[in-house]
Amino acid sequence: MRLTRKEQLLSIGLAGLIAFWIMYAFVVNPALARLQTLRRAVPEKLAVMQEINIKSHQFLKLQHRLELLQQQITSQPKDFVPVRFLENLIDQCRLSDHVLSLETQSQQLDENYAESIVTIELNDVTLKQLVQFLSNLRSASPLLQIKTLDIRKNPAKPHLLNSTIYISHFKQSD
């Protein structure tokens, strides 16, 4: 059977149309869908990557601070006793008469480090005396940290303050 020129052109056009449709269905359409997915996913992944980068920088800073703290803890004198140090500081600031109590609690943090918490209760102090004591405490030892500070007005003497200070000290376990 012989096809006419018109039928040949029609069959070639139909074969080309079928080939184009197959190409579009199995190559172009999946590629377009993949591009659309990538356009949506890439910004999300970049945001996640940026967040991970920020977190890794924060982690490195914290790790560096931890190493510095560990160096400070290991370099402190073995005979350092926070209570004695604080008693001397209280005497220097002339607050001995205002100390209601001075207590120490210790707890083991892990196998290498322990924390001592010294609680100082001060009564009938002026704001100036309290600020002087706290600034002297901060500048005296980097290993003593004010953990909690509670300041109240003295009910009997409104111009004076009562205060409870929790001071934390880290040391290497023996």
What pLDDT was estimated at residue 166?
95
What pLDDT was estimated at residue 132?
92
Q: Please give the average per-residue pLDDT across 53-63, as a whole number.
A: 97
What pLDDT was estimated at residue 106?
86
Q: How confident is the model at residue 16 (pLDDT cuts 50, 70, 90)?
A: very high
The pLDDT of residue 91 is above 70: yes
What pLDDT was estimated at residue 142?
66
What pLDDT was estimated at residue 115?
86
Please report, for residues 89, 118, 127, 158, the alpha-carbon distance to residue 152 in angstroms, rounded to integers and kept in the order given: 22, 19, 11, 10
What pLDDT was estimated at residue 71?
86
Q: Please give the average per-residue pLDDT across 116-126, as a whole number.
A: 92
CATH superfamily of 82-172: Ribosomal protein S6/Translation elongation factor EF1B (3.30.70.60)
Handedness of CA 89, 67, 147, 78 (dihedral sign): negative
The pLDDT of residue 157 is above 90: no
Q: How confident is the model at residue 149 (pLDDT cuts 50, 70, 90)?
A: very high
The pLDDT of residue 174 is above 70: no
> 98 near 120, Cβ under 8 Å?
no
Mean of per-residue pLDDT scores for the chain: 89
Supply the pTM of this predicted model: 0.64
Two tokens at 53? Answer: 């980068």
